[in-house]
């Protein structure tokens, strides 16, 4: 471990990627195969391979207290504020020891700590490990435990170093590591010259393809010609792994979130074969639930004429996504109650397929992946359709899979994401406004000829988003940052006015330059009201303009609201505190934002719905009236399929036309 720690110090000392890669390659070649395999994983900042479910479950407070105890310190705050990293603090404060640890011994200790249950069982194991390590070794043990080496070494550079050390190309190493989820095993295959034998290992998350930001509709369409348009949903990105009824869901941070959404696992178990899907988990309101009072046209057997002229009191409203604040109630829970599942129903909106029928599909163009995804939905054990708005705002039938009955009679659906084409910036702007009117964040614009590039942000996918609004606020507290910002006050809590008092509404740490942060730090240090260590309550005199994507109700702040994704636009030196925005203004923005959701829930007709509503009536022309009634409390989609005679196969036909038109 001493050699690995010294290697990490050398890596941290240079900013040149080629030098970092060469240092890692040199170190790996100098170790035994077993040591190099474990070291490769450690150098990626992890104690265990990605595919393993094993986690250390060592919290920050346990680490902090253990280091403080061994260093003979009551408080590490001063050292942490100076160094900005608990690993660096550990290396600076622990006493010197003559012994050295081997990386294989540390891996064994990590597995013992992971197997121990609870802080009381883990604490003595962690203490023993630190007592056997030198300060430098302990420094990097802490960094591995916390998952952040902070030496400017990404996993991609470790992959490059493996290729350099053992005569393989970067592409060969990256592909094997992606399939296996194990840098150590990838290294062993590279040594043996067998990287091509790596096969897909399900139930470990792959990297997500990322989107670039487009400033405008013109900018979005400047990237490529043949585009596919989807709503950008306000949920959490999730990758679904399915195999013979076994299902796992992984978040964008590669965490297993299956237990938070058990009803989705039931729906996904209906897919056949081995699959990896990419999509968004959203809080979802069923159109079927909202259609309980739906009336049907006055016709007996029905003809084209009388159904066309009939005017129902209400039309069946489409299912739709709910605000992120609803979904947030379910996040971070190890176990979700039946009451919570009923209170916050969810859906999984699928927009891509990464693996199917034993084949990794990432090299295929989106056009072909879309066709394969349509076939995946068609072959499921419970194919159906749901009624949902497409990006144009028209009600359409989308392929879906219903969960049947989850615990407590709760339902969930897996829905094929509605798609459309756009041929001009003006058209795209119209689609954007419609997406926001449905409560979604904006639009995703995708190149039909693009491959799926895990973990990369390129120009093949772009997202079009706009801030909901801006607020002028005043800073009430400033907090020290982390890493390179450990010595400056870079995180700001801010407030709005509530009559004659200030009430906090959010916290932001992005948007200012390093120079502005340094100047602000000096001002806050000179205008501190209360010094609470990492956080300082400051005189409320600095006014900021902040932008944000949404407002949520929250008990976290005294205002009763919280801003989603706040970003500092500028320092308002020109505005006095007396003129900052008020809680009343926040409430107006919140009402405007959620007033759209109220319209959706009550089935208010939007432009473009009337034509599609008439088309649905024509489909139902020759069906008995008894079959034209939406069942109360039915699963999303299934009554719609029965009602209008639309099958999942028929719903897929329009999709094939969209994909083929991009050729």
Q: Read off the pLDDT of residues 544-569 as tens digits, 9 standing for 90 and up.
A: 999 998 888 888 888 999 998 899 99
pLDDT-derived band at 649, boundaries 50, 70, 90: low
Map tokens 């060592």 to a residue: 58
CATH of 2-197, one of 1.10.3260.10, 1.10.150.120, 2.40.10.340, 2.40.160.20: 1.10.3260.10
Do β-strands 567-571 and 346-356 pair in parallel, antiparallel, or remain unpaired?
unpaired
Q: What's residue 186's pLDDT?
A: 97
Do β-strands 561-564 and 236-243 pair in parallel, antiparallel, or remain unpaired?
unpaired
Distances (CA, A) of 170 to 176, 177, 190, 219: 10, 11, 11, 33
For 250, the enclosing helix (H) or strand (E) is strand 246-251
Residue 350 reports pLDDT greater than 80: yes
**Could you give the CA distance from residue 120 to residue 641 in angstroms, rounded to a whole number?**
55
CATH class label, 210-297+315-464+631-660: alpha beta
Q: What's residue 287's pLDDT?
A: 61
3 state SS of 395 = strand
Average confidence score pLDDT of the chain: 81
Q: What's residue 478's pLDDT?
A: 94
| Catalytic machinery residues | 232
Complete DSSP assignment for 404-468: ---GGG---EEEEPP-B---SHHHHHHHHHHHHHTT--EEEEEETTPPP-TT-EEEEEEEEE--S
For 570, the enclosing helix (H) or strand (E) is strand 567-571
SS (H, E, C) 121-176: HHHHHHHHHHHHCCHHHHHHHHHHHHCCCCCCCCHHHHHHHHHHHHCCCHHHHHHH
Name the most confidently modeled range: 88-102, 286-300, 320-334, 386-400.
Answer: 88-102
**Could you give the CA distance from residue 369 to residue 376 in angstroms, rounded to a whole number?**
10
Q: Out of 68-72, 171-175, 318-322, 538-542, which region has the weakest mean confidence (pLDDT)?
A: 318-322
pLDDT-derived band at 504, boundaries 50, 70, 90: very high
**Could you give the CA distance from residue 46 to residue 272 in angstroms, rounded to a whole number?**
33
Complete DSSP assignment for 36-105: HHHHHHHHTT-SS-TT--------HHHHHHHHHHHHT-S--HHHHHHH--HHHHHHHHSPP-S----HHH
**Could you give the CA distance from residue 150 to residue 109 in angstroms, rounded to a whole number?**
22
**Could you give the CA distance from residue 171 to residue 194 in angstroms, rounded to a whole number?**
14
What tokens appear for 565 in the block?
């994704």
Q: What's residue 45's pLDDT?
A: 94
Give 189-236 pLDDT, tens digit per residue.
999 999 999 999 899 999 899 998 888 899 988 888 788 999 998 899
Give 249-294 pLDDT, tens digit per residue.
999 888 889 989 999 998 899 898 999 999 999 998 876 555 444 4
Complete DSSP assignment for 315-371: PPPPPEEPPHHHHHTTTT-SS--HHHHHHS-EEEEEEEEEEETTEE-TTS-HHHHHH
**Could you give the CA distance from residue 242 to residue 245 in angstroms, rounded to a whole number?**
7
CATH class label, 469-597: mainly beta
Q: Out of 68-72, 321-325, 334-338, 401-405, which region has the weakest mean confidence (pLDDT)?
A: 401-405
Give 50-79 pLDDT, tens digit per residue.
888 788 999 888 999 999 999 988 778 888
**Could you give the CA distance from residue 50 to residue 31 in angstroms, rounded to a whole number?**
22
**Could you give the CA distance from residue 123 to residue 70 in angstroms, rounded to a whole number?**
12
Q: What is the domain partition of the chain in residue ranges? A: 2-197, 210-297+315-464+631-660, 469-597
Entry pTM = 0.73
Distances (CA, A) of 333 to 118, 239, 405, 406: 18, 18, 21, 18
Distances (CA, A) of 21 to 39, 153, 165: 14, 9, 10
Measured CA angle at 485 (ends 470, 468), to 5 deg:
15
* HSE toward the beta carbon, residue 1, CA cutoff 13 A: 26
The set of residues, in sequence order, having a beta carbon less than 8 Å from that of 64 and lying 6+ positions away, is 76, 86
Residue 30 reports pLDDT greater than 60: yes
Please say whether the beta carbons of 103 and 504 come within 8 A: no
Q: What is the dihedral of CA 222, 224, 229, 230, to 10 degrees?
A: -90
Please say whether the beta carbons of 207 and 239 come within 8 A: no
Distances (CA, A) of 325 to 285, 396, 461, 561: 14, 26, 26, 11
Q: What's residue 313's pLDDT?
A: 36
């Amino acid at each position: 471990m001493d050699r690995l720690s010294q290697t990490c110090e050398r890596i941290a000392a240079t900013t040149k990627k080629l030098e970092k890669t060469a240092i890692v390659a040199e170190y790996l070649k100098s170790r035994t195969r077993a040591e190099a395999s474990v070291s490769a994983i450690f150098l990626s900042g992890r104690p265990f391979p990605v595919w393993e479910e094993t986690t250390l479950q060592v919290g920050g407070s346990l680490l902090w207290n253990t280091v403080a105890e061994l260093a003979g310190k009551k408080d590490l705050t001063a050292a942490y504020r100076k160094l900005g990293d608990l690993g660096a603090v550990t290396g600076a404060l622990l006493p010197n020891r003559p012994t050295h640890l081997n990386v294989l011994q540390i891996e064994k200790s990590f597995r013992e700590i992971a197997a121990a249950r609870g802080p009381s069982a883990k604490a003595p194991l962690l203490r023993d490990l630190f007592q056997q390590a030198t300060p430098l070794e302990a420094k990097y043990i802490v960094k591995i435990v916390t998952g952040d080496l902070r030496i400017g070494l990404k996993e991609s550079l470790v992959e490059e170093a493996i290729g350099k050390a053992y005569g393989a190309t970067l592409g060969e190493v990256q592909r094997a590591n992606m399939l296996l989820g194990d840098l150590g095993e990838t290294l062993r295959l590279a040594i043996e010259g067998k990287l091509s034998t790596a096969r897909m290992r399900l139930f470990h998350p792959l990297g997500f393809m990322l989107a670039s930001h487009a400033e405008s509709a013109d900018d979005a369409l400047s990237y490529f010609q043949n585009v596919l348009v989807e709503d950008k949903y306000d949920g959490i990105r999730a990758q679904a792994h399915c195999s013979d009824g076994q299902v796992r869901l992984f978040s964008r941070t590669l965490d297993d979130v299956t237990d938070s959404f058990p009803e989705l696992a039931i729906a996904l178990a209906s897919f056949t074969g081995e699959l990896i899907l990419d999509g968004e988990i959203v809080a979802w309101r069923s159109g079927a639930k909202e259609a309980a009072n739906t009336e049907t046209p006055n016709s007996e057997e029905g003809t084209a004429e009388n159904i066309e002229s009939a005017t129902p009191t209400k039309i069946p409203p489409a299912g739709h996504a709910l605000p992120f604040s609803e979904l947030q109630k379910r996040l971070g829970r190890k176990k979700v109650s039946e009451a919570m599942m009923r209170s916050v129903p969810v859906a999984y909106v699928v927009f891509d397929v990464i693996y199917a029928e034993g084949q990794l599909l990432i090299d295929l163009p989106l056009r072909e992946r879309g066709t394969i995804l349509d076939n995946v939905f068609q072959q499921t054990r419970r194919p159906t359709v749901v009624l949902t708005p497409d990006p144009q705002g028209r009600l359409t039938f989308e392929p879906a899979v219903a969960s049947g009955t989850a615990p407590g009679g709760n339902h969930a659906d897996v829905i094929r994401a509605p798609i459309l084409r756009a041929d001009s910036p003006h058209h795209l702007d119209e689609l954007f406004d419609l997406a926001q009117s449905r409560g979604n964040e904006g639009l995703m614009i995708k190149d039909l000829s693009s491959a799926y590039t895990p973990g990369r942000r390129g120009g093949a996918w772009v997202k079009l988003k706009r801030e909901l609004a801006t607020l002028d606020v005043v800073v009430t507290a400033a907090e020290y940052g982390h890493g390179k910002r450990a010595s400056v006050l870079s995180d700001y809590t801010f407030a709005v006015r509530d009559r004659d008092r200030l009430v906090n509404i959010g916290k932001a740490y992005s948007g200012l330059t390093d120079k502005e942060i340094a100047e602000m730090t000096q001002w806050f240090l000179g205008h501190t009201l209360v010094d609470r260590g990492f956080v300082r309550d400051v005189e409320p005199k600095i006014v900021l303009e902040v932008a944000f994507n949404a407002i949520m109700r929250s008990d976290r702040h005294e205002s009763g609201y919280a801003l989603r994704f706040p970003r500092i636009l500028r320092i308002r030196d020109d505005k006095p505190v007396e003129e900052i925005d008020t809680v009343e203004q926040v409430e107006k923005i919140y009402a405007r934002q959620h007033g759209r959701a109220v319209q959706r829930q009550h089935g208010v007709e939007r432009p473009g719905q009337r034509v599609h509503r008439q088309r649905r009536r024509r489909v139902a022309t020759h069906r008995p009236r008894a079959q034209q009634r939406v069942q109360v409390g039915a699963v999303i989609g299934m009554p719609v399929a029965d009602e209008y005679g639309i099958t999942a196969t028929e719903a897929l036909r329009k999709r094939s036309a969209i994909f083929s038109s991009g050729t």
